[in-house]
């Protein structure tokens, strides 16, 4: 065979392979197009008008985690996640739950309330208490009965369920009260083995956010501070449950502390134990509970269940899809700041310094807005971004508008930085706040590189040239410079709090040092003004602005782009189940069981810690973050 013939055969093979790739690409694109077209078409036919039958039970069934504000998810990604039953935990907004319960009290179509916590994955203590208070208020104002039913009650779900007149549980269920704990994963030993040198810069005896990278255990100071706020949370939990169930706090304590022995006495029958401990009123499986509810409210339209309307369906009937506000009414702007504080623009789920500043600016420039309530639920983050937000708050006050902060589950470190200058600060007794401290971290990996024959060398015109390379050791001069910057950042933090709270820097330093405080202690220390909920803060803002009762609460949210609006409209109701197709193709779309493996859990914990570091984007590397989020 000649060289030319060989070349021709090679060219034909290459041409054929390219043709195959091109056709495959077209096929994949066409399949994706048809998939998206299918979603678009089905979305127009899936919209259902919810009708609430007279005498219905309103079922409060929060799914996933209860949050102040849902994380923003790209609509296309959300549709795909729904279709593939993605593991990403769902979220339910606290406001929706509270609005549904409050509205249901006066709704003549609603005969009773049913608490179903089977899909609840967790919530902060302040959120659970807000729901518990709303249920108690529902009972007082309406006189309607409240029944709770669950397969299994976690500590979070039981606080809500315990508020019911009657609490039922499955025969194979349990009520597990673990108390509150603060456990972290420490990497110092692993980092030493790998030769990773984490350079830590911090101010604050209690600033324990960076301990996992510099220790193998929790420091005594961190244990002291953590145990204090955990004890307050646990005492509040026991008191709330005991009051609702006509028990004593000691009885709840005994159940939790001696759980193993109590289970043994009941020969492993958790349901019998819960009944004996008076935590539940009856044991019923799903069929028995459905029969009970049919007796109370009647059968549903199809006869398969009882007459009911679920949380999401009911919310659609009471919330207008379009928010309309009159132009001639005084407004209180309500702005939510939820998540870690990062520099720049961010979507919901994180607080962007620039994004939140824009929202506050919109409120400031709106002539009808007379006061601003900032709802803060954040453990902190970038010091620079926090300062950008604070400056906008000062500008709003300078414009003659009152600013009131309402703290949620967390308002610590950077979360406190953005709160300090408010005219009033409201917190729950169980809010986690304070943590006035600053830190920075910088890793270098020169040792493992050198050990494997990789070296770094060169020249520069100044001592700072190449000083921040992770492949080279950090010089003592540069390390001292960074520490000086961190010290200055802490001094700025002290000044911010001192000016905002009318204290001296020395007074702030005594209660600062990175220590986390719980709301009830923060009030005694002068870090917050009043203890109460969001509604209390709104009323306070109206009073400060001399509005009386003549005002509207107007939420100010990030404006979606035109593309985001279009995609949200198209995909909002598109739901396709592809799990059956995946099962046929042996595709593991749901690794729920695998995620429970011990190794997978360890990897997940480490991944979360690294994700936090990956999100850090402060221009100066200074962070005011308490790293005090509790596992729900």
Let me know: does 374 contact 68? Beta carbons within 8 Å.
Answer: no
Whole-angstrom distance, CA of residue 610 vs CA of residue 383: 20
Alpha-carbon separation of residue 574 from 32, 46, 79, 312 (angstroms): 15, 7, 6, 15
Phi, psi of 567 (to 5 degrees): -65, -40
In the chain the first and final C-alpha atoms are separated, in Å, by 73
Alpha-carbon separation of residue 342 from 251, 350, 352, 381, 469 (angstroms): 44, 7, 5, 6, 23
- Characterise 517 by phi-psi region: left (phi > 0), alpha (psi -120 to 50), beta (else): beta
249 catalytic per annotation: no
Pick from 128, 126, 101: nearest CA to 114: 101
Whole-angstrom distance, CA of residue 351 vs CA of residue 336: 9
Pick from 305, 288, 306: nearest CA to 297: 306
DSSP 468: T
DSSP state letters, 594-609: GGGSHHHHHHHHHHHH
Whole-angstrom distance, CA of residue 21 vs CA of residue 27: 10
Pick from 523, 484, 482, 514: nearest CA to 627: 514
Sign of the alpha-carbon dihedral angle for 18, 21, 27, 32: negative
Pick from 117, 96, 100: nearest CA to 164: 117
Cβ atoms within 10 Å of 515's Cβ, excluding its own = 25
DSSP 211: G
Angle ∠(335,340,344) on CA atoms, nearest 5:
75
With 0-12 CB in 10 A as exposed, 13-18 as middle and 19+ as buried, what is 553? Answer: middle
The residue annotated as part of the active site, out of 95, 111, 127, 207, is 207
Cβ atoms within 10 Å of 526's Cβ, excluding its own = 15
Strands 110-116 and 432-434: unpaired
Sign of the alpha-carbon dihedral angle for 271, 275, 277, 278: positive
The residue annotated as part of the active site, out of 413, 419, 435, 523, is 413
401 catalytic per annotation: no
Alpha-carbon separation of residue 63 from 60, 122, 502 (angstroms): 10, 9, 43
Whole-angstrom distance, CA of residue 360 vs CA of residue 345: 14
Let me know: does 587 contact 96? Beta carbons within 8 Å.
Answer: no
Active site residues: 207, 413
């Amino acid at each position: 065979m000649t060289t030319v013939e060989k070349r021709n055969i090679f060219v034909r093979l290459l041409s054929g392979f390219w043709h195959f790739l091109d056709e495959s690409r077209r096929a994949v694109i066409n399949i994706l197009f048809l998939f998206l077209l299918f979603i678009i078409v089905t979305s127009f036919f899936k919209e259902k008008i919810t009708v609430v039958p007279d005498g219905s039970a309103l079922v409060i069934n929060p799914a996933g985690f209860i949050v102040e504000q849902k994380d923003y998810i790209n609509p296309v990604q959300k549709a795909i996640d729904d279709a593939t039953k993605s593991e990403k935990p769902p979220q339910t907004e606290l406001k929706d739950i509270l609005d549904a319960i409050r509205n249901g009290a006066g709704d003549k179509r609603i005969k009773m309330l049913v608490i179903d916590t089977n899909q609840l994955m967790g919530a902060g203590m302040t959120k659970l208490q807000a729901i518990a208070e709303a249920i108690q208020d529902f009972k007082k104002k309406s006189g309607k009965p409240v029944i709770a039913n669950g397969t299994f009650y976690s500590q979070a779900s039981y606080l809500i369920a315990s508020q019911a007149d009657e609490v039922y549980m499955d025969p194979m269920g349990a009520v597990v009260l673990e108390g509150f704990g603060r456990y972290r994963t420490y990497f110092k030993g692993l980092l030493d083995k790998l030769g990773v040198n984490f350079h830590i810069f911090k101010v604050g005896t209690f600033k324990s956010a960076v301990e996992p990278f510099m220790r193998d255990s929790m420091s005594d100071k961190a244990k002291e501070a953590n145990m204090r706020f955990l004890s307050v949370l646990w005492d509040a939990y026991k008191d709330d449950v005991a009051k609702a169930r006509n028990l004593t706090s000691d009885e709840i304590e005994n159940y939790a502390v001696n759980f193993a022995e109590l289970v043994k006495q009941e020969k492993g029958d958790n349901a019998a134990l819960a009944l004996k401990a008076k935590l539940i009123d009856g044991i019923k499986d799903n069929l028995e509970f459905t029969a009970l509810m049919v007796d109370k409210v009647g059968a549903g339209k199809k006869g398969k269940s009882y007459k009911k309307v679920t949380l999401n369906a009911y919310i659609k009937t009471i919330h207008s899809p379009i928010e309309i506000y009159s132009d001639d009414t005084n407004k209180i702007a309500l702005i939510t700041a939820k998540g870690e504080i990062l520099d720049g623009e961010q979507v919901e789920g994180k607080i962007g310094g620039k994004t939140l500043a824009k929202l506050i600016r919109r409120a400031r420039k709106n002539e009808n807005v007379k006061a601003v309530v900032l709802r803060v639920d954040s453990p902190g983050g970038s010091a620079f971004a926090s300062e950008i937000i604070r400056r906008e708050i000062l500008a709003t006050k300078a414009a003659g508008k009152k600013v009131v902060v309402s703290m949620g589950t967390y308002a610590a470190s950077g979360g406190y930085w953005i709160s300090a200058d408010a005219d009033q600060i409201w917190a729950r007794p169980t809010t986690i706040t304070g943590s006035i401290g600053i830190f920075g971290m910088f890793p270098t990996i020169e040792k493992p590189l050198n050990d494997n024959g990789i070296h770094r060398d060169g020249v520069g015109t100044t001592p700072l040239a190449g000083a921040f390379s992770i492949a080279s050791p950090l010089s003592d001069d540069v390390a001292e410079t960074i520490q000086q910057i961190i010290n200055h950042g802490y001094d700025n933090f002290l000044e911010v709090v001192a000016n905002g709270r009318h204290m001296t820097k020395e007074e702030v330093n005594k209660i600062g040092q990175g220590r986390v405080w719980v709301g009830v202690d923060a009030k005694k220390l002068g870090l917050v003004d009043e203890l109460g909920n969001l509604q209390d803060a709104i009323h306070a803002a109206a009073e400060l602005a001399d509005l009386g009762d003549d005002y509207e609460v107007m939420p100010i949210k990030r404006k979606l782009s035109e593309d985001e609006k279009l995609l949200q409209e198209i995909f909002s109701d598109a739901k396709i189940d592809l799990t059956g197709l995946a099962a046929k193709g042996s595709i593991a779309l749901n690794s729920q069981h695998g995620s429970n493996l011990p190794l997978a859990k360890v990897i997940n914990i480490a991944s979360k810690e690294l994700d936090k570091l990956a999100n850090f984007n402060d221009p100066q590397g200074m962070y005011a973050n308490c790293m005090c989020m509790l596992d729900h």
